[in-house]
Amino acid sequence: MAGLADTFELIGEAAEHTLPQTHAAGLALAVTDAEDTLGVVVRGFADVAAQGPVRPETRFQIGSISKQFAAICLLQEVEAGRVDLHVSVNDLLPWLQLAEPFGPITLHHLLTHSSGLPIGTEESPTGPGALAIVRTLAPTFAPGERFHYSNDGYKIVGRVVEQLTGMAMHDLLRERLLGPLGMHRSDGWITNETRLDLAVGYEPVFDDRPPHLQHPLAPARWIVSNTADGAIVSTVPDMAAYARMLLGRGATLVDGHEVRVLSGEMFTLLTTGHVQSDERRFRYGYGVDVWEHDGRRMIGHSGGMVGFTALLRLDLDAGLACVTLYNGGGPKEALTDQAIAGVRAALAGDAPAPMPHPLAPTSIEHAAELAGRYEGARPIQLEATGDRLRLVDGPVGVALERWADERDVFLVPHPGLDRFLLRVHRDGDGSIRELTHGPDRFAPEGIVLEPGPTHEPSWEAFAGVYRSNDPWAPVLRVFLRAGRLWLTWPSEGTEDELDPLGDGTFAVGERWVPRRVRFDDVIEGFAAVAHYNGGRWYRSFEE
């Protein structure tokens, strides 16, 4: 189909403009309908040092898309009558002994990220080690009451499936899904041997500050894993084969023969939005995001591993799916959505239309609104020229860059200022109250900043930079601002106030969120250790 071929040319062109605005070296994308892969786009390098290009057969880590594979294996056990989704996991794994102060935590709660358990840390490089940590942490809300993403919850799901079947998760995935669906370039584990036949994962070279596009990329740290929350390695053709099974409601044709991995009833259970996630504007099924877009039913999931990101999206009404795999990080939703929309239009007979290219990171539509002089411990100036916004701080002048999808949060790409994001805080009427940059505050000219409460003197020992061997979050930073303690994960750009709970621990952000930190071993006026959700970060010499 000529229109379809032209559409994939346009998708490739859009990918060429998207890739430089990510922290990735290469990408692969495929679009499929329920019968066959309609096209594949590859751009960039699988291995920068070797100048090896990404090819359709290049393997990537797909991260948390793996969760729905684990959910399918568990639903197969449910359909066979070997397990009930609504009994306490402590009954299924008596050694686990999860704390249940608000009532039983069930497989349903784990599958829907509504258990109240933390997301987890990777201080332990193994599944058993991670479960040894999570069993020491109490949930912070009643099961089923809220949505809070938990990788450790899916590690528990995987362990239950392994006990039910007597098989390791990677072997079970091969027998139940990867093999039957013809996904012969895919594996359910990450081993050292995997590294011999995999795109090189990349991450920004700096781990102590929010990443911006001027930061060079470096090969990411290597991890070995076979846990159910995110250890599948695959290719875009293989993932397209998996997507065809979802488009077929649990069944697909492989080499001319129907393969059914889920009944229609279990597929409905998998893709029903059981729990609402207000902040992310979707409902969550079992390892699947569920939402509507322009009146069409959509399901999908993103995935992230150290050095890799992935996205799978399906338009169920159009019967189309797109998978996008990167060896690195960065935005992927726009390109994936454009690919589905473009192919849908081509199949409807519409003439191919150019796809919008991403805006330059320095394009800030409301730059003029933010321009002005701001007073703090030192004055700074924001200068607008068209849609560009320049920060002048003493002798330093630098163009600000947008941060992710945040309207009022900006990167400051200068070595002296890039440890923190610049944040705009507004009053209820939308007027600018103040700017913050880590510990520093700045008020619009003519406005006097309220000083904030007096902080506890002991908190001064907690401020600083802490490091861990956790490959996901090697650095956390703690600072004082306006009489309060704040914690930021620099590479993620998050910033949360620490709320003292009266027992030496702090809630990180809202108390219902399962994130807790405490500080130990104050030596010469400085805490040496920060304990975060069972993991340990150690004070560094860095500022």
DSSP characters over 204-243: ES-SSS---TTSPEEEPPP--B--TTS--EE-HHHHHHHH
Backbone φ, ψ for residue 246 (5° rounding):
-70, -40
Are 243 and 343 within 8 A, CB to CB?
no
Instruction: Judge if 228 and 90 occupy the same domain.
Output: no
Instruction: Judge if 438 and 393 occupy the same domain.
Output: yes
Torsion angle defined by CA atoms of residues 507, 512, 513 and 514, in that order, rounded to the nearest 10 degrees: 80
Are 93 and 159 within 8 A, CB to CB?
yes
**Predicted confidence (pLDDT) at residue 17 exceeds the cutoff of 80:** yes
Instruction: Judge if 8 and 138 occupy the same domain.
Output: no
In a domain, 75, yes or no: no
Instruction: Judge if 291 and 313 occupy the same domain.
Output: yes
CATH code, domain with 233: 3.40.710.10
Query: Helices 264-271 and 66-79 sit at what angle, rounded to 10 degrees?
Result: 140
Contacts of 458 (CB under 8 A, 6+ apart): none
108: containing domain: 82-165
Q: What is the pLDDT of residues 169-193, one digit of tens each?
A: 999 999 999 999 999 999 999 999 9
In a domain, 247, yes or no: yes
In a domain, 321, yes or no: yes
CATH code, domain with 507: 2.40.128.600
Which of the listed residues 288, 318, 347 is the one where a domain comes to its end? Answer: 347
In a domain, 255, yes or no: yes
Instruction: Judge if 293 and 311 occupy the same domain.
Output: yes
Query: pLDDT category, 125, cuts 50, 70, 90?
Result: confident
In a domain, 355, yes or no: no
In a domain, 74, yes or no: no
Question: How does DSSP assign 101-147, residue by residue?
Answer: TTS--BHHHHHTT-S-------SSSSHHHHHHHHTTS--SS-TTSS-
Under DSSP, is residue 462 helix (H, G, I), strand (E, B) or coil?
coil
Which of the listed residues 409, 444, 479 is the one where a domain comes to its end? Answer: 444
Are 209 and 282 within 8 A, CB to CB?
no
Q: What is the pLDDT of residues 330-360, one digit of tens each?
A: 888 999 999 999 999 999 999 888 898 889 9
Instruction: Judge if 240 and 323 occupy the same domain.
Output: yes
User: What's the rounded Cα separation, in Å, for the pair 379 and 511?
Assistant: 35
Overall domain count for the chain: 4
Instruction: Judge if 339 and 265 occupy the same domain.
Output: yes
**Predicted confidence (pLDDT) at residue 23 exceeds the cutoff of 60:** yes
Instruction: Judge if 159 and 230 occupy the same domain.
Output: no
Are 417 and 396 within 8 A, CB to CB?
yes
Instruction: Judge if 186 and 322 occupy the same domain.
Output: yes
Query: pLDDT category, 2, cuts 50, 70, 90?
Result: low
Instruction: Judge if 161 and 172 occupy the same domain.
Output: no
Instruction: Judge if 182 and 275 occupy the same domain.
Output: yes
Instruction: Judge if 38 and 137 occupy the same domain.
Output: no
Q: What is the pLDDT of residues 389-446, one digit of tens each?
A: 999 999 999 999 999 889 999 999 999 999 999 999 999 999 999 999 999 999 999 9
Contacts of 501 (CB under 8 A, 6+ apart): 507, 511, 516
Which of the listed residues 146, 165, 184 is the one where a domain comes to its end? Answer: 165
